[in-house]
Amino acid sequence: MGKGWIGKVLRVNLTEGTCAVEKLNEAWAREYLGGRGLASKYLCAEVDPGVDPLGPENKLIFAAGPLTGTYGAANGRYMAVTKSPLSGTIASSNSGGCFPSELRYAGYDLIIFEGKSPRPVYLQIHNQNVKLADASQLWGQSTDRTEDLIREKFHGDAKVACIGPAGERRVLFANIINDKHRAAGRSGVGAVMGSKNLKAVAVRGNGGVEVADPQGYRTAALDSYGLLRNNPVSGQGLPALGTAVLVNIINQSGALPTNNFQFDTFAGAEAISGEKLAETYLKRNKSCLGCVIGCGRVTRLSGAAYQGSGEGPEYESIWALGAACGVSDLAAVTKANYLCNEYGMDTITAGATVACAMELFEKGLLSEAEVGMPLPFGDGAAMVKLIELIAKNEGFGQKLALGSYRLAELYGAPELSMSVKKLEFPAYDGRGLQGMALQYATSNRGACHVRGYLVSPEILGLPEKLDPQAIEGKASWTKIFQDFTAVVDSVGVCLFTTFAIGAPQVTRLLNAATGLTLDEEGLLVVGDRIWNLERQFNLRAGVDPGQDTLPKRLLDEPIPDGPLRGATARLAEMLPEYYRLRGWSADGIPGEEKLKSLGLS
């Protein structure tokens, strides 16, 4: 096995209670790199896409990249890959912190969980010593408490990834929390973990990561550090204000979805902005292992209504629990964010589902008696209460735990779910940003912002400013961004570095670490391969190209307010070109020739 990769896969059969180490498939590692790409390859090879996501036949893969645990450019990420119970698509959720690097220091690139344990267990890894331990005392505990208890019982320096009560109860958007506050957030990967009776993975590693060309790697890493430190976004903006700096930017630009996408400007934006967070509850910033950016927010609430401490809220969480619900009470948003982390739930889907319920209520489709309380937009206390009910699977929370699509469908109004492929939108309205509209519609995991992030050129002007309302060229931009982020998610680098570094730097780091000889074009071919692999999984899972679409609201209802008033998503004008650039048929099916060129046939 080449350097960069450890070369080992830990396979854990939860049904049998066995753990075995096997050699990493070297050919696959070279073609799919690691993380999202390599785990997707293993999943496609080992799991029938038609499987029940919460059944024992589904597998859950934790995958680091060949750069995870090295210094250089915020190289501390891993992916949790499985079939999503929320969307039915392939799921791959990304997280940072310290846990991913520790996995590599213990001597593993991937962990594959298969089957279902007959009782709650957690996995202990101390270098080559691996065993499944009883988790009956951990079951029911918050993510925060679970980590504390594992450190007391197993190892004081263990790094822990775990589920909370939401994952145990199969909330369809339960997440996996590591290092107490970092989340593999979307698509319900925590529900899959819960379905396997797997409470946590605890790792202690004393090894390291060898790179193929130490001097070349050192030079590439120092160059990347310099770019990150000297860039105004990664060197100044993100450390000082975190991701929440976007609240005012997106709101002023007229693309902040408000009241379940009924409006695109929010009068309460200033009150929940990053600037306001810095002025009120922020205590300090925090970095993942080896990161020079430090975008994490350490916060504390000590008011009369809400108390607590933790990390965040991040921009997407502020939006979902705030503007999407019409809530301008930053304390309520922060408290709801803490609850989501402690119970182990995706803040985006949680908030967006409450927002959907609020619209159902205001339209008279949902009664006060059924919810147990009035549910108007703007009611922060009700929003916080519902977050608790979801996690505890109590009362109306049981319906919210299904996500917005299934909730809206139950009340005969699926069009009020602001989602694609049953995954809820994040914090940017695709009517205002045409590239984002295309990205949302075509993303392999549904309405996701980190499968391309066209927000960067369309609003932020990075790497160059595009007109958000133009459609010309957006198909090409979307494909390139999708392919590049597939690579970033696969090598183990944080996506936020790409505000300062790009394909040239990632290529240098990857080649120096692994001995590969890719050029930038070759790097994007790897991304294209990963994208098509995921597409193949979805097609076989029955997610047909007809789902490459958007809610009726985005397609037919013009934005009613703000500078982008009158805009709708012009998806039909962009989708054919996108399919053509992908080398797919006019119906969105990858052809044999295309698949063959990528080694996928």
Partner 1 sequence: MVQVSFYSLLRLLLKRETLALPWTPGLDVRQLLTRVQAEIPTPFLDRLLDADGTLIPGTIILVDRHNIHHLAGLATPIPDGATVALFPPGAGG
Alpha carbon distance 214, 185 (integer Å): 34
Q: Which residues contact 45 (CB under 8 A, 6 or more apart)?
A: none
* Nearest CB to partner 1, comparing residues 99 and 319: 319
Taking CB under 8 A as the rule, does residue 124 contact partner 1?
Answer: no
Q: Which stretch binds partner 1 (CB under 8 A): 110-118, 249-257, 512-520, 540-548?
A: 249-257
Q: Which stretch binds partner 1 (CB under 8 A): 71-79, 119-127, 455-463, 566-574?
A: 455-463
In angstroms, what is the minimal distance from the CB of 525 to partner 1? 25
**Around Cβ 279, how many Cβ atoms within 10 Å?**
10
Q: Among 455, 475, 503, 518, which residue sits at the site for partner 1 (rule: CB under 8 A)?
A: 455
Q: Are 361 and 371 in contact (CB under 8 A)?
A: yes
DSSP 357-373: HHHHHHTTSS-HHHHTS
Indicate the SS3 state at residue 159. Answer: strand
Taking CB under 8 A as the rule, does residue 413 contact partner 1?
Answer: no
In angstroms, what is the minimal distance from the CB of 462 to partner 1? 5
Q: Among 149, 211, 295, 433, which residue sits at the site for partner 1 (rule: CB under 8 A)?
A: 295
Q: Among 81, 325, 450, 487, which residue sits at the site for partner 1 (rule: CB under 8 A)?
A: 450
* Nearest CB to partner 1, comparing residues 191 and 427: 427
Burial of 464 (0-12, 13-18, 19+ CB in 10 A): exposed
Indicate the SS3 state at residue 317. Answer: helix
Q: Among 37, 65, 165, 242, which residue sits at the site for partner 1 (rule: CB under 8 A)?
A: 242
The number of helix segments (H) and strand segments (E) in the chain equals 26, 17
Q: Which stretch binds partner 1 (CB under 8 A): 47-55, 85-93, 451-459, 533-541?
A: 451-459
Taking CB under 8 A as the rule, does residue 226 contact partner 1?
Answer: no
Helix 503-514 × helix 474-491 angle, to 10°: 30
DSSP 491-513: HT--GGGGGT--HHHHHHHHHHH
In angstroms, what is the minimal distance from the CB of 453 to partner 1? 6
Amino acid at 536: Q
Q: How far apart are the first and last CA of the chain?
A: 25
In angstroms, what is the minimal distance from the CB of 358 to partner 1? 25
- For partner 1, what does the binding mask look like between residues 314 and 353, x meaning CB under 8 A? xxx-------------------------------------
Alpha carbon distance 197, 5 (integer Å): 29
Taking CB under 8 A as the rule, does residue 252 contact partner 1?
Answer: yes
Taking CB under 8 A as the rule, does residue 268 contact partner 1?
Answer: no
Alpha carbon distance 510, 570 (integer Å): 37
Taking CB under 8 A as the rule, does residue 499 contact partner 1?
Answer: yes
Burial of 363 (0-12, 13-18, 19+ CB in 10 A): exposed
* Nearest CB to partner 1, comparing residues 315 and 584: 315
Q: What angle is formed at CA 443 by the lines to CA 74 and CA 193, rounded to 5 degrees?
A: 65
Alpha carbon distance 154, 569 (integer Å): 52
The single residue listed with the structure tokens 């190209």 is 545
Q: Which stretch binds partner 1 (CB under 8 A): 83-91, 160-168, 245-253, 575-583?
A: 245-253
Taking CB under 8 A as the rule, does residue 465 contact partner 1?
Answer: yes
Q: Are 505 and 462 in contact (CB under 8 A)?
A: no
Which structure tokens are listed for 362? 């205001």
Q: Which stretch binds partner 1 (CB under 8 A): 220-228, 244-252, 334-342, 429-437?
A: 244-252
Q: Among 1, 54, 133, 233, which residue sits at the site for partner 1 (rule: CB under 8 A)?
A: 233
Q: Among 51, 212, 240, 539, which residue sits at the site for partner 1 (rule: CB under 8 A)?
A: 240
**Around Cβ 21, how many Cβ atoms within 10 Å?**
12
In angstroms, what is the minimal distance from the CB of 563 to partner 1? 4
- For partner 1, what does the binding mask look like between residues 139 and 178, x meaning CB under 8 A? ----------------------------------------
**Which residues sit at the interface with partner 1, rule CB under 8 A?**
231-233, 236-238, 240-246, 248-249, 252-254, 274-275, 278, 295, 314-316, 449-450, 453, 455-456, 459-465, 467, 495-496, 499, 562-563
